[in-house]
Amino acid sequence: MSISPGFTTAEIREFVHEYHGLPYGRKCAWLAERGVSRHTLTRWRDAVYEGDLDRGLIPREGSPMTVPPGKRTALEKARAAEHAAHAAEVARLSARVHELEDTNAALGKAIGLLHAMSEEEPADNPTTPDPSNS
């Protein structure tokens, strides 16, 4: 369930975090480019930082006076740590994928060489004389 039709909770959360990462003086133009009003952004921000965005709940007392100092900073730090952990995991998995692709290519070459060698070998019919006749 979303608090705004047409947007998922993940999109709203990213939108709010992206907005707060903008430098001073760029926020109004950025909102205008996306067609989102300041009132809508305020509702979304309250739901992200103080309410329950996943259930579509916005706190009744969303005044900046009631928000404990540092709460937004703590959320941003947690989000940044989460992104860093995801980035490290993606880098590790990408390195593993490259390693496996290289191994796969080497195995393909080895199999190709084995097939080429088996075609060059003589047939299974022995040409040596039978030792019992000697």
Q: Which of 46, 59, 44 lies closest to 11, judged by CA?
A: 44
Listed in sequence order, the residues at least 6 apart from 65 whose beta carbon sits closer than 8 Å to its beta carbon are none
Contact 53, 47 (CB under 8 A): yes
Contact 59, 46 (CB under 8 A): yes
Contact 45, 67 (CB under 8 A): no
The pLDDT tens digits of the residues spanning 43-102 come to 888 777 766 666 766 666 655 545 555 666 676 677 778 888 888 999 999 999 999 999
Residue 52 φ then ψ, to 5°: -130, 90
Task: Return the SS3 of 123.
Answer: coil
The pLDDT tens digits of the residues spanning 16-34 come to 888 888 888 888 898 899 8
Domain range annotation of the chain:
1-67, 69-121
CB half-sphere exposure, 89, CA atoms < 13 A: 6
Would you state the pLDDT for residue 111? 93
Which ranges in the chain belong to alpha helices (H)? 9-20, 27-34, 38-49, 71-120
Calpha distance 10→128 (Å, rounded): 77
pTM greater than the 0.75 cutoff: no
Q: Letter for the amino acid at 5? A: P
